[in-house]
């Protein structure tokens, strides 16, 4: 009997909870629909697919004819469905009870909607920690796919990684399929004939009966959404050429993971370290460490020993994003506290709607950043807060919280004070800035403090070095997004300077220097802070009243010094058409513009996306400067500037001994 190689071919399709409708429509037209249509024409080409739960619901609702194709492919045994957490969480960073709930919810959905309960699971961002094994096993998942890099980091040689291995945690076992990095970089970027020739070279030439597996499982978005790929994959016919050549080969057999798993023995026991895919090693590190890591790997490549020893040049782990980005850590710890509150409710009070909102708050995308990841994207963070605040209202209705309390939510060693009523919640960081780190409007389901402090990113070095449109590509193929350097916007040196203070609400300065406060009360009905300096005493009080937050400033000395408070407001329309400043019945301009006014006592920020507006009032005239706060990030489309917030700077002389700044929040139906 001639030896053959089993091609285990899988694709992962995902869109973040809360993504723009235009992005979903484009992804469907350029990727999901043509991919399914091509595969449908080749029933002998077996493959696996994982569609994240939110995307699956969207496609079933909006494109039932395409989902009918997928259902038919499942019914004729062409497709194997892979499970996961329903909202695509990183399983390692949510409680075990939620891991089980997420996996079971999605497995049930696949069985009900597509007619197949999964045996295998996709791990979000291939983030591996052994702690996830029990939950997967408890949910009937028998195997997962992770990168071959994970195995190399455990001491395995690439030549060994031609089948599946077994691991365990607490006596519960799970089998692991190693995804080939070589195939990830060839499919679909190298010419089809080159890729098929590589697959054929993997055939087992020994006399044993064991059949080698060529394992591919990667983002379906590489088949149409990444730059140049729609033209390459569909218009130039790469996908059909690849399928035809695979089916014509007398060496390659396409199989389901489940078929291979049932027919072949495990290659043995393995214990993997905590790790994700290789590119994530760099992304998880802060800039200085990432520079060092990048220089070391570049040196290794130049000296020719990188491929042999890259497992020993490991960078950071996925959880580093929480220590790198305070905004990510804050969201995560808020989510964990809501999960704990939900779990403590009596079962009869727990509802499907609560569970759904909790799971939406656990969607991975807004918690991290690299070439991909959505931390820098305000609409994805907004979706997380929308879910959390909706859940918080439901939890409060079941079991009320104290109207004020103090805790160290984000575990940074500095406590936060919470004040809330039925309409609003304000969270003040009890550090020297005495500023607002979360400001929630429950009816609008929005956190107005949801912005991002600008920090140095490792890839800024590429901007500073002036690289433009550099790309390495396969001979005769196209370049991967990982190898591209391109610019969606013009980026200046000023755009990539790190912020020297938090981008919160009510960060105060005198003559350009930040004021240092200390807390003065423990009762917390009203938060009171005091600053003592050679300029005299400054009192600062936070008062929550219905739909209004009042911040009162009282000065102990009359001086000619200039006092300034900076208010950073996350306005959902950002610099789009839906946001505008209204002043004395006139529209001054959009949130992306710079505005300066003197002797102001009131201005409105109206936002169509928000479905409401913010009215800022002062008890005495002030000068106002308003401008957008941008950050610079990278994506597969290139370097881009993203508006994070509206920055309002209010200035007045301290000779005005008392002044109150009020933020009133109104839903559109409460004008």
Question: Does the pLDDT of residue 80 top 80, yes or no?
Answer: yes
CA distance 122 to 10: 10
Q: Residues 308-326: what's their mean pLDDT?
A: 93
What's the pLDDT at 60? 97
Residue 620, CB half-sphere, CA atoms under 13 Å: how many? Answer: 13
User: Tens digit of pLDDT for each residue in 119-172?
Assistant: 999 999 999 999 999 999 999 999 999 999 999 999 999 999 999 999 999 999
Structure tokens at 73: 């492919």
Task: Answer for the pair 89, 102: CB distance below 8 angstroms, yes or no.
Answer: yes
DSSP 125: G
Beta carbons within 10 angstroms of residue 593's beta carbon: 13
Every domain of the chain and the residues it spans: 5-276, 473-670
The CATH code of the domain at 5-276 is: 3.20.110.20
* Pairwise CA distance, residues 227 & 221, whole Å: 10
Alpha-carbon distance of 298 to 306, in angstroms, equals: 8
Checking if the pLDDT of 467 tops 80, the result is no
What's the CA gap between 177 and 151, in Å, rounded?
10
Q: How many CB atoms lie within 10 A of CB 513?
A: 11
Is the per-residue pLDDT at 669 higher than 90?
A: no
Residue 27 pLDDT exceeds 90: yes
Is the preceding peptide bond at 188 cis, omega within 30 degrees of 0? yes
For residues 48 and 82, is the Cβ–Cβ distance under 8 A? Answer: yes
pLDDT at 520: 79
Residue 26 Rama label (left phi>0; alpha psi -120 to 50; beta):
alpha
Q: What percent of the chain clears pLDDT 90, i.e. is strictly above it? A: 84
Over range 180-190, report the average pLDDT: 96
Report yes or no: 283 and 369 within 8 Å, Cβ to Cβ.
Answer: yes
Does the structure show a pLDDT above 70 at 274?
yes
List pLDDT tens digits, range 251-273.
999 999 999 999 999 999 999 99
For residue 205, what pLDDT is reported?
57
Q: Which CATH number fits domain 473-670: 3.20.20.70, 2.60.40.60, 1.10.645.10, 2.70.98.10?
A: 2.70.98.10
Please give the pLDDT value at position 157. 93
- Asked whether residue 665 carries a pLDDT value surpassing 60, the answer given is yes
Taking alpha carbons only, the member of 274, 18, 286 closest to residue 123 is: 274
C-alpha 120/C-alpha 84 separation (Å) is 8
- pLDDT-based confidence at 485, cuts 50/70/90? very low
Residue in the block written with tokens 């409680």: 95
Per-residue pLDDT band at 207 (split at 50, 70, 90):
very low
Confidence of residue 519 (pLDDT cuts 50, 70, 90): confident
**Banded model confidence at residue 489, pLDDT cuts 50, 70, 90:** low
pLDDT score for 416 = 96
Q: Return d(Cα 614, Cα 425) in angstroms, integer.
A: 15
Length of the chain: 671
- CA–CA distance, 415 with 455 (Å, rounded to integer): 23
Contact 78, 41 (CB under 8 A): no
Confidence category of residue 506, pLDDT binned at 50, 70, 90:
very high
Tens of pLDDT along 530-541? 998 877 899 999
Cα separation, 393 vs 370, in Å, equals 33
Tell me the CA distances in angstroms from 166 to 151, 163, 231, 382, 664, one per residue in order. Answer: 12, 10, 40, 40, 58
Contacts of 295 (CB under 8 A, 6+ apart): none
| CA 314 – CA 293 distance, rounded (Å) | 8
- Which active-site residues does the annotation give? 125, 219
Given this model, what pLDDT does residue 635 score? 75
Over residues 616-662, the pLDDT tens digits come to: 999 999 999 999 999 999 876 678 999 999 999 999 998 878 999 99
Per-residue pLDDT tens over the stretch 371-425: 888 999 999 999 999 999 999 999 999 999 999 999 999 999 999 999 999 999 9
Average pLDDT value over all residues in the chain: 93
d(CA 525, CA 258): 60
Above 90 in pLDDT, residue 206?
no
Q: 76 and 43 in contact (C-beta within 8 Å)?
A: yes
Supply 47's token pair: 């493959």
**What is the distance of C-alpha 497 from the center of its chain?**
23
Determine the Cα–Cα distance for residues 61 and 63; give it in Å rounded to an integer. Answer: 6
> If pLDDT is split at 50, 70 and 90, which confidence band does 107 have?
very high
- 617, β-bridge pairs: 602, 662
> What confidence score (pLDDT) does residue 484 get?
45
Whether the pLDDT of residue 58 is over 80: the answer is yes
What is the C-alpha to C-alpha distance for residues 339 and 153, in angstroms, rounded to an integer? 33
CB 441 within 8 A of CB 386: no
pLDDT of residue 195: 97
* Stretch 418-437: mean pLDDT: 97
Identify the pLDDT of residue 639: 84
């Amino acid at each position: 009997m001639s030896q053959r190689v089993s091609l285990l071919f899988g694709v992962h399709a995902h869109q973040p909870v809360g993504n723009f409708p235009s992005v979903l429509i484009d992804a469907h037209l350029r990727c999901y629909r043509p991919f399914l249509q091509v595969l449908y024409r080749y029933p002998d080409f077996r493959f696996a697919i994982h569609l994240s739960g939110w995307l699956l619901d969207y496609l079933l609702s909006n494109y039932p004819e395409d989902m009918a194709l997928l259902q038919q492919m499942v019914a004729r045994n062409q497709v194997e469905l892979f499970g996961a957490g329903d909202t695509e969480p990183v399983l390692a960073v949510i409680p075990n009870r939620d891991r089980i709930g997420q996996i079971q919810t999605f497995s049930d959905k696949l069985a009900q909607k597509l007619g197949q309960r999964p045996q295998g699971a996709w791990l979000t961002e291939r983030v591996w920690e052994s702690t996830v094994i029990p939950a997967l096993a408890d949910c009937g998942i028998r195997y997962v796919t992770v990168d071959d890099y994970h195995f190399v980091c455990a001491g395995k040689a690439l030549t060994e990684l031609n089948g599946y291995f077994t691991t365990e945690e607490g006596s519960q076992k799970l089998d692991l399929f190693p995804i080939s990095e070589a195939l990830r970089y060839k499919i679909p970027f190298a010419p089809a004939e080159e890729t098929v020739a590589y697959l054929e070279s993997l055939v087992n030439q020994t006399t044993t009966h064991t059949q080698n597996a060529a394992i591919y499982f990667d983002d379906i978005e590489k088949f149409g959404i990444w730059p140049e790929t729609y033209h390459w994959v569909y218009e130039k016919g790469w996908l059909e050429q690849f399928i035809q050549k695979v089916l014509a080969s007398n060496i390659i057999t396409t199989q389901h993971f489940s078929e291979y798993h049932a027919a072949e023995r495990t290659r043995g026991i393995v214990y993997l370290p905590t790790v994700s895919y290789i590119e994530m090693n760099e992304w998880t590190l802060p800039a200085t460490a990432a520079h060092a890591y990048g220089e070391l790997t570049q040196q290794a490549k130049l000296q020719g020993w990188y491929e042999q020893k890259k497992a020993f040049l490991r960078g950071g782990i996925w959880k580093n994003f929480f220590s790198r980005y305070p905004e990510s850590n804050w969201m995560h710890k808020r989510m964990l506290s809501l999960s704990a509150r939900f779990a403590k409710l009596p079962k009869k009070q727990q509802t499907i709607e609560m569970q759904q909102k909790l799971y939406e708050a656990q969607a991975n995308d807004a918690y991290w950043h690299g070439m991909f990841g959505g931390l820098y994207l305000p609409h994805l963070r907004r979706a997380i807060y929308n879910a959390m605040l909706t859940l918080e209202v439901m939890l409060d209705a079941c079991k009320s919280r104290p109207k004020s309390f103090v805790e160290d939510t984000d575990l940074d060693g500095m406590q936060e004070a919470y004040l809330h009523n039925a309409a609003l919640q304000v969270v003040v960081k009890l550090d020297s800035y005495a500023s607002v780190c979360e400001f929630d409007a429950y009816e609008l389901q929005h956190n107005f403090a949801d912005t991002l402090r600008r920090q140095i990113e490792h890839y800024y070095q590429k901007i500073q070095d002036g690289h433009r449109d550099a790309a390495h590509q396969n001979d005769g193929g196209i370049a991967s997004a990982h190898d591209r350097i391109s610019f969606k916007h013009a980026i200046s040196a000023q755009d990539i300077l790190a912020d020297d203070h938090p981008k919160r609400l009510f960060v105060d300065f005198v003559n350009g220097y930040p004021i240092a406060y200390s807390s003065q009360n423990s009762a917390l009905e009203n938060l009171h802070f005091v600053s003592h300096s050679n300029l005299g005493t400054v009192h600062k009080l936070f008062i929550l009243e219905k739909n209004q937050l009042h911040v009162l400033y009282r000065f102990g000395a009359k001086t000619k010094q200039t006092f300034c408070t900076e208010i950073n407001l996350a306005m959902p329309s950002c610099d789009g058409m839906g946001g505008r400043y209204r002043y004395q019945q006139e529209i001054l301009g959009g949130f992306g513009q710079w505005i300066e006014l003197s002797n102001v006592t009131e201005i409105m920020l109206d936002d169509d996306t928000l479905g409401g507006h913010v009215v800022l009032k002062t008890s005495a005239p002030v000068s106002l400067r308003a401008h957008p706060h941008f950050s610079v990030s990278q994506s597969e489309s290139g370097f881009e500037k993203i508006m994070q917030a509206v920055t309002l700077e209010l200035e007045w002389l301290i000779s005005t001994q008392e002044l109150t700044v009020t933020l009133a929040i109104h839903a559109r139906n409460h004008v």
